[in-house]
Amino acid sequence: MTKTVLTVDDSRTIREMLRAALTEAGMNVLQAEDGVHGLEVLDGAMPDVIVTDINMPRMDGFGFIEAVRGSTKHRAIPILVLTTESVDDKKDRARRLGATGWIVKPFDPAKLVNAINRVAA
Amino acid sequence: MDTMAAIKQTFFQECEEQLAELETGLLAIESEEHDTDTINAVFRAVHSIKGGAGAFGLEELVRFAHTFETTLDLVRSGQIQPDAGLLKLMLRSSDILADLVRFSRDGGEMDESRVSQIHEELTRAAQPGGTPAASAAPAAAPSFTPPAAFDAGSDDDDFVPITINFDDILGGGEPAVEEQVFVVSFRPKPELYAKANDAIKLLREIRALGDADVACDISEVPLLTELDPEGAYLSWTIRLGSDVTEAQVREVFEFVEFDCDVSVTAEPKVDPNFEFVPAPVAETREPVPALADDGPLIPESVLAKIAQVNAEPAKASPAAAANQAQPAQQAQTTIRVDLDRVDRLIDLVGELVINQSMLSQRVTEAGIARLSEVAVGLDDLEQLTREIQDSVMAIRAQPVRPIFQRMSRVVREVADMVGKSVRLVTEGENCEVDKTVIERLADPLTHMIRNAVDHGLEKPEDRIKAGKPEQGVVRMTAAHRSGRVIIEVSDDGAGINRARVKEIAIKRGVIEPGVPLSDSEIDDLIFAPGFSTASTVSDVSGRGVGMDVVKRSIQALGGRISISSKPGQGTTFTLSLPLTLAVLDGMVVTVAGQTLVVPLTAIVETLQPKGPEVHGLGERAKVIAIRGSFIPLIDVGYKLGYRYEEADPLNSVAIMVESENRAQSALMVDGIIGQQQVVIKSLETNYGQVFGVAAATILGDGRVAVILDVDAIVAGNRS
Q: Cβ contacts (< 8 Å) between A118 and chain B: which residues?
A: 201, 205, 255
> How close A100 gets to chain B, by Cα (Å)?
5
Question: Among B328-332, B414-418, B478-482, B711-715, whose mean pLDDT is lowest?
Answer: B328-332
Q: CB-based contact (8 Å) between B258 and chain A?
A: yes
Q: Does the beta-carbon distance from A90 to B4 stay under 8 Å? A: no
Which CATH class name applies to B3-125?
A: mainly alpha
Question: Among B261-275, B425-439, B642-656, B678-692, whose mean pLDDT is lowest?
Answer: B261-275
> How close A29 gets to chain B, by Cα (Å)?
15
Q: Does the beta-carbon distance from A36 to B331 stay under 8 Å? A: yes
Q: How far apart are CA B406 and CA B408, in angstroms?
A: 5
ipTM: 0.82
Q: What is chain A's percent helix, strand, coil content, to nearest 5?
A: 40, 20, 35
Whether B289 has a pLDDT exceeding 80, the answer reads no
Q: What is the mean pLDDT of residues B41-66?
A: 83
Question: Among B203-217, B377-391, B519-533, whose mean pLDDT is lowest?
Answer: B519-533
Q: What is the mean pLDDT of residues B300-329?
A: 50
Q: CB-based contact (8 Å) between A109 and chain B?
A: yes
CATH number of B400-578: 3.30.565.10
Q: CB-based contact (8 Å) between A104 and chain B?
A: yes
Whether A117 has a pLDDT exceeding 80, the answer reads yes
Of B319 and A62, more confident:
A62
Q: What is the mean pLDDT of residues B352-370?
A: 81
- Give me the residues of B, 639-658, that contact A with CB < 8 A: none
pLDDT for the residue B667: 92
DSSP state of B31: T
DSSP labels, B482-542:
TTEEEEEEEE-S----HHHHHHHHHHTTSS-TT----HHHHHHGGGSTT----SS--SSS-
Q: CB-based contact (8 Å) between A46 and chain B?
A: no
For residue B640, the one-letter residue type is L
Residue of B nearest to A80 (CA): B255
End-to-end CA distance of chain A: 10
Q: Cβ distance B303 to B200 under 8 Å?
A: no
Q: Which helix (H) or strand (E) holds B267?
A: none
Domains parsed from chain A with CATH numbers: 4-119 (3.40.50.2300)
Q: How far apart are CA B98 and CA B157, in angstroms?
A: 21
**Nearest-CB residue to B51 (from A14, A16, A58):** A14
Whether B99 has a pLDDT exceeding 90, the answer reads no
Q: CB-based contact (8 Å) between B201 and chain A?
A: yes
Q: Cβ contacts (< 8 Å) between A111 and chain B: which residues?
A: 164, 166, 169
**Nearest-CB residue to A37 (from B44, B51, B328):** B328
Show Cβ contacts of residue B168 under 8 Å, excluding neighbours closer than 6 positions.
Answer: B174, B247, B248
pLDDT for the residue B532: 61
pLDDT for the residue B169: 44
Q: CB-based contact (8 Å) between B427 and chain A?
A: no
**pLDDT > 90: percent of chain B:** 5
Q: Which of A87, A97, A105, A117 is nearest to A11 (CA)?
A: A105
Whether B393 has a pLDDT exceeding 70, the answer reads yes
pLDDT, tens digit, 9 for 90 and up, residues B170-184: 444 444 457 788 888
Q: What is the mean pLDDT of residues B604-631?
A: 85
pLDDT for the residue B447: 86
> How close A73 gets to chain B, by Cα (Å)?
6
Burial of B683 (0-12, 13-18, 19+ CB in 10 A): middle
> How close A47 gets to chain B, by Cα (Å)?
13
pLDDT, tens digit, 9 for 90 and up, residues B157-169: 444 444 444 444 4
- Tell me chain A's radius of gyration from C-alpha atoms: 13
What's the mean per-residue pLDDT of chain B?
77
Whether B275 has a pLDDT exceeding 80, the answer reads no
pLDDT grade for B44, boundaries at 50, 70 and 90:
confident
pLDDT grade for A103, boundaries at 50, 70 and 90:
confident
Whether B100 has a pLDDT exceeding 70, the answer reads yes
Peptide bond into B190 cis (omega under 30): no
Whether A99 has a pLDDT exceeding 90, the answer reads no
pLDDT grade for B360, boundaries at 50, 70 and 90:
confident
Chain A / chain B CB contacts < 8 angstroms:
171
Mutate one of B38, B156, B335 to test the A interface: name it (highest A CB count within 10 A): B156
pLDDT grade for B497, boundaries at 50, 70 and 90:
confident
Which homologous superfamily does the CATH classification assign to the domain defined by B583-718?
A: SH3 Domains (2.30.30.40)
pLDDT for the residue B166: 43
Whether the model pTM is above 0.90 = no
Q: CB-based contact (8 Å) between B3 and chain A?
A: yes
Whether B687 has a pLDDT exceeding 70, the answer reads yes
Q: CB-based contact (8 Å) between A21 and chain B?
A: yes
Q: List, in sequence order, every residue forming a beta bridge with B696; answer none if it has no partner.
A: B681, B706
Q: CB-based contact (8 Å) between B324 and chain A?
A: yes
